[in-house]
Chain A
């Protein structure tokens, strides 16, 4: 479903600040797989997601989604295949538009929009039913603007918008990182529910090792623009947070990093 071939991405190309954001990355994620991506700051995990979404074009290599070579497709064109949820809840909804209108925008994901009036009673009813699934009482506030919602509510709405048309691929970019713990838990719950009931091919970037272990079928560990470890489902079930940290410890030894940095990793990930 997702296939990355020999991907290299450089930032600030040709300048002294040149950064090798992705270094010859190869990755294949099959249909129905739910992979989580973890890694240090600047390891390239967000770059990886943005590359698949089309926000970043690779300097070398190919991006193949759903069997199509989409390497040169702009982001909006890829929306036919994939949908995404951003870390910042404000990025995913139009604040001045109602919940219903926001959902309508998602209802046409990847389709041509005409000067027609599709937001009729039948569709509103359908939207209400779907909103009820979120268990946030949004179904009663369908004519309120998205700007009046809390971060958690917004992110739940965003998630619903992302899965409304059952995308082939779902990209989640640390989508609970900016939420309070209670909202985060609810959004995680919803994520698992949608992914499993719709059998979505998903890629989730996370900062939390715990989340990475509890969710998904596969863990991809990144460091310095490379995939350093790809842990399949069987192996994943046996792992603990400490095992994951151990893996980073190995890198430390290889790269002779100071223990302080490792302590930093612990604080951040454990």
Chain B
């Protein structure tokens, strides 16, 4: 039933758009394609404001206005520059794509957890079925719109508009500027379209960059059906016809879905349908001239034909409705599983295959003990919603959604049946929950973001010097934007890598983008997970082969298709994981208790053939580690069996909290995470890990701490002093392991290494400040001034600075300090330091300053100021000498302590460990450039020797 009422509701909402097209098409004979963009613009503007806390009704006029602006521009271009209406529309529509992306800031805004007209309507629901209640309210609204618009079109101004389209010569002789009238009409029409956009966004629960594509055809179809229904010059009937047309069109789409129509064919069917109605209505209209017998026949029996077809459609619908009401008796005990997929890309197909195979392994046979129906939206975003409606109408018991777009549609609509998603980069940006455990009660699934940083690291092994890499992406996909963001962020930590980006809006543009990248002198392609680019992978491959530019990809399946090296999650396994989750739910487990799972298999694959062709050497370690190989034209892959999860013991829930997003803390958390993930998947330990990052904001840190405490985690791990302090202050109960802390004794959580807060233990990693300053003296005997920046609110920094003061006094340096309160002040502090004439720049343990590390590295290199720091990881970001811990090891060690506690150790019994996996890293290229000679005694100690910068 929901399918039909849902279709009627959609019809009502699309009617606003159709009425807009009615004005431009009927009045000015322009098929205004601007609406493809203004529809999204209305949705985008409204959605942004709703997220900002606006009332869902208050945003309606704003969206109307936004749409109007788009229309105004089209009108202006059309009338002032005398450019054909269709072309003007195409121009504005094309431009709006970028505008919409800017307005939204991303390609998808979820409105799930915000008030919409539907939630407001639900609040005053007298107890009716929700969809029906919405339908009744919308009917009232649409009647009001019908009366208002009809009245307007009947007014002096409305009639003048009609006359403008009907006879421009005449109306301009009557003193009317036809340009102005047309602009008014197109503006008004697009306002209606913008309104339709935000209404639909509210109804479907999100605004998406692609939601407007094809609007013109849908609304033309509605207008034309309306025209066929009432062949009249009575305005109020014509307007009603358009509204009915929009509803009938949506019903027809629902019907096509319901009757098991291949959604592949939906578009050509729509096109044919519009064409047919156009031809018929044209032949009826042309009363003059020669008429064929058929035309005359059609004309004379027009009413008969139309009523007969409407009757036939209605009859069919009633038949189907009656049919859907009574489920087949034979299938009563079979689980109905509905799968929604966004498109036919290889990523999703693999997911599906993995799912299907594993379901079979788990004993599910389609038709015998379950009924699986698959629907594919073929890239049409609104179609996802209709498919969900269809599955609901089919009384589906368990929903599966592969891809973000499908997941969003399913999660927004399905509230009381279990949902399992797979192959979603981040369910959280879709509005499906905040963390892997804090999610809607009926939803669970498999997700994960590509291991971008790791692949970049592998890539640098092939290019010892500076390297330019190029990436291609389609900003239209929410996942892509996330992945690209990750890549851009990760690249910052690799000063030798320069990233060149190229965006495309469709598969046809991929080859040109690849060629353009090649012409910009890139040495490698880096392909993030992007459905468009993967679909057109062969285009990139062509350019890759021609220019001997290897392809590095985050998609494991690309190896077989010709990529040079892949490192990424395997989506087949994602499907397998989804099947396991589905199995658990079918067996009676509640999705509420099943945390979102991260992808289980990360696959490294190398193409040894191509290495020979391109003249690249694959390090032996990589060849050995590779689970997939392309060698002598044969693709081989090690089989992987997803470990069966132990059935006993409860899941341990761990919160991992880092204060900010700096290299040091990221490395710590990475070490920690890698150990835990390995435990989880390789050893089958039941873990749910939730990651928190306060992004350097004290207030956020406070709320995160409260959140972690309120969620009753079993274990807590923190990275950085501030994160430890914030949590330790409130949490005296849950076991807590900290790391990346300079001096826990000074931070108030312990009196001595043994005597500490009972629930807390961890690693103290004091920076070897004195040793570093001694090293400065050894390397730079003539230097006088050492400059340092530190954040006054960081206790760890204060400690390091104190040590630095003592050491400088001892070694005969003058220490110049600048204090800051936020990362924004680093720039000014550096300038002031430099102007005071420093010989050495020193950074030690300061989390805030380390956020600016790559920039600092570059500045110091340019000014030839030797840069010393206290974390070996910093060497990749431009320091000259770094002496200190490798924080990845610190994180791993902390994870070890955590695992010990899980196995029964009590934190109170574990003393705080002073752990400095001290590593000396030197950038030899820089020391040579600066003319600094390194004594052999020092050189021998260096673990990392960088030869390039």
Interface residues of chain A, those whose CB is within 8 Å of chain B, are 53, 74-77, 79-80, 83-84, 86, 91-97, 101-102, 104-106, 108-111, 113-119, 145, 161
Residue pair A76, B163 in contact (C-beta under 8 Å): no
Among B152, B158, B166, chain A packs the most CB atoms within 10 A around the CB of B166
The CA of A113 and the CA of B174, in the complex, are separated in Å by 11
Residue pair B170, A114 in contact (C-beta under 8 Å): no
Q: Which residues of B contact A76 (CB under 8 A)?
A: 172-173, 175-178
With A91-B167, A115-B157 as known contacts, state yes or no: A75 contacts B172, CB within 8 Å.
yes
With CB as the reference atom, state the residue of chain A lying closest to B160.
A113
Residue pair B156, A95 in contact (C-beta under 8 Å): no
What are 8 A-B pairs at a CB distance below 8 A?
A76-B172, A79-B173, A96-B162, A101-B163, A108-B156, A115-B155, A116-B156, A119-B159
Residue pair A96, B155 in contact (C-beta under 8 Å): no
Residue pair B156, A115 in contact (C-beta under 8 Å): yes
Q: A75-B172, A95-B167, A106-B174 are in contact. List 15 more A-B contacts (CB 8 A).
A: A53-B173, A79-B172, A79-B175, A79-B176, A91-B167, A91-B170, A97-B163, A104-B159, A105-B170, A105-B176, A108-B175, A115-B157, A115-B158, A117-B154, A119-B156
Q: Which residues of A contact B178 (CB under 8 A)?
A: 76
| Closest chain A CB from B267 CB (angstroms) | 33
Q: Which residues of A contact B641 (CB under 8 A)?
A: none
| Closest chain A CB from B852 CB (angstroms) | 59
Residue pair A114, B166 in contact (C-beta under 8 Å): no
| Closest chain B CB from A167 CB (angstroms) | 10
With CB as the reference atom, state the residue of chain A lying closest to B180.
A76
Decide if B929 is an interface residue (CB 8 Å cutoff): no
- Give a binary string over B272-305; 1 marks a CB under 8 Å from any A CB, 0 the rest: 0000000000000000000000000000000000
Q: Which residues of A contact B503 (CB under 8 A)?
A: none
- Give a binary string over B161-200; 1 marks a CB under 8 Å from any A CB, 0 the rest: 0110011011111111110000000000000000000000
Residue pair A105, B171 in contact (C-beta under 8 Å): yes
The CA of A77 and the CA of B233, in the complex, are separated in Å by 30
Q: Which residues of B contact A79 (CB under 8 A)?
A: 172-176
Residue pair A117, B156 in contact (C-beta under 8 Å): yes
The CA of A83 and the CA of B158, in the complex, are separated in Å by 22
The CA of A53 and the CA of B152, in the complex, are separated in Å by 31
Q: Which residues of B contact A104 (CB under 8 A)?
A: 156, 159
The CA of A119 and the CA of B176, in the complex, are separated in Å by 18
Residue pair A105, B169 in contact (C-beta under 8 Å): no
With A91-B170, A93-B167, A94-B167 as known contacts, state yes or no: A74 contacts B177, CB within 8 Å.
yes
The CA of A94 and the CA of B159, in the complex, are separated in Å by 10
Partner of B175, one of A86, A91, A110: A110
| Closest chain A CB from B861 CB (angstroms) | 62
| Closest chain A CB from B520 CB (angstroms) | 45
Q: Which residues of B contact A109 (CB under 8 A)?
A: 174-175
Residue pair A117, B155 in contact (C-beta under 8 Å): yes
Residue pair B159, A97 in contact (C-beta under 8 Å): yes
B contact residues, range: 20 to 34
Interface residues of chain B, those whose CB is within 8 Å of chain A, are 152, 154-160, 162-163, 166-167, 169-178, 233
With CB as the reference atom, state the residue of chain A lying closest to B167.
A94
Q: Which residues of B contact A77 (CB under 8 A)?
A: 175, 177
Residue pair A75, B163 in contact (C-beta under 8 Å): no
Residue pair A84, B173 in contact (C-beta under 8 Å): yes
Q: Which residues of B contact A106 (CB under 8 A)?
A: 174
The CA of A115 and the CA of B151, in the complex, are separated in Å by 9
Q: Which residues of A contact B167 (CB under 8 A)?
A: 91-95
Partner of B171, one of A83, A94, A117: A94
With CB as the reference atom, state the residue of chain B lying closest to A161.
B174
The CA of A145 and the CA of B170, in the complex, are separated in Å by 15
Q: Which residues of B contact A101 (CB under 8 A)?
A: 159, 162-163
Q: Which residues of B contact A105 (CB under 8 A)?
A: 159-160, 163, 170-171, 174, 176
Q: Which residues of B contact A145 (CB under 8 A)?
A: 233
The CA of A172 and the CA of B175, in the complex, are separated in Å by 17
| Closest chain B CB from A188 CB (angstroms) | 21
Residue pair A115, B152 in contact (C-beta under 8 Å): yes
| Closest chain B CB from A160 CB (angstroms) | 13
| Closest chain B CB from A46 CB (angstroms) | 14
Q: Which residues of B contact A53 (CB under 8 A)?
A: 173
Q: Which residues of B contact A94 (CB under 8 A)?
A: 162-163, 166-167, 170-171
Q: Which residues of B contact A83 (CB under 8 A)?
A: 173-174
With CB as the reference atom, state the residue of chain B lying closest to A101.
B159
| Closest chain B CB from A153 CB (angstroms) | 15
Q: Which residues of A contact B160 (CB under 8 A)?
A: 105, 108, 113
Residue pair A118, B169 in contact (C-beta under 8 Å): no
Q: Which residues of B contact A74 (CB under 8 A)?
A: 177
With A101-B159, A108-B160, A113-B157 as known contacts, state yes or no: A92 contacts B177, CB within 8 Å.
no
The CA of A77 and the CA of B178, in the complex, are separated in Å by 11
| Closest chain B CB from A205 CB (angstroms) | 16
The CA of A94 and the CA of B167, in the complex, are separated in Å by 5
Q: Which residues of A contact B155 (CB under 8 A)?
A: 114-117
| Closest chain A CB from B282 CB (angstroms) | 16
With CB as the reference atom, state the residue of chain B lying closest to A80.
B175
Residue pair B162, A97 in contact (C-beta under 8 Å): yes
| Closest chain B CB from A29 CB (angstroms) | 20
| Closest chain A CB from B715 CB (angstroms) | 68
Residue pair A97, B173 in contact (C-beta under 8 Å): no
| Closest chain A CB from B192 CB (angstroms) | 15
With A105-B174, A110-B175 as known contacts, state yes or no: A97 contacts B157, CB within 8 Å.
no
| Closest chain B CB from A118 CB (angstroms) | 5
| Closest chain A CB from B155 CB (angstroms) | 4
Residue pair A111, B175 in contact (C-beta under 8 Å): yes
With CB as the reference atom, state the residue of chain A lying closest to B156.
A113
Q: Which residues of A contact B174 (CB under 8 A)?
A: 79, 83, 105-106, 108-110, 161
The CA of A182 and the CA of B502, in the complex, are separated in Å by 73
Q: Which residues of B contact A118 (CB under 8 A)?
A: 156
Residue pair B173, A75 in contact (C-beta under 8 Å): yes
The CA of A75 and the CA of B172, in the complex, are separated in Å by 7
Which 6 pairs between the two chains have the least Cβ-Cβ distance?
A: A79-B175, A110-B175, A94-B166, A115-B155, A94-B167, A94-B163
The CA of A117 and the CA of B171, in the complex, are separated in Å by 18
| Closest chain A CB from B446 CB (angstroms) | 56
The CA of A116 and the CA of B156, in the complex, are separated in Å by 6
| Closest chain B CB from A159 CB (angstroms) | 13
Q: Which residues of A contact B157 (CB under 8 A)?
A: 113-116
Q: Which residues of B contact A113 (CB under 8 A)?
A: 156-157, 160, 176
Q: Which residues of B contact A102 (CB under 8 A)?
A: 163
With A77-B175, A84-B173, A105-B171 as known contacts, state yes or no: A95 contacts B166, CB within 8 Å.
yes
| Closest chain B CB from A35 CB (angstroms) | 20
The CA of A77 and the CA of B177, in the complex, are separated in Å by 8
| Closest chain B CB from A146 CB (angstroms) | 9
| Closest chain A CB from B309 CB (angstroms) | 26
Partner of B170, one of A93, A117, A119: A93
The CA of A95 and the CA of B318, in the complex, are separated in Å by 42
| Closest chain A CB from B175 CB (angstroms) | 3
The CA of A117 and the CA of B156, in the complex, are separated in Å by 6
| Closest chain B CB from A178 CB (angstroms) | 15
With CB as the reference atom, state the residue of chain B lying closest to A171.
B173
Q: Which residues of B contact A117 (CB under 8 A)?
A: 154-156
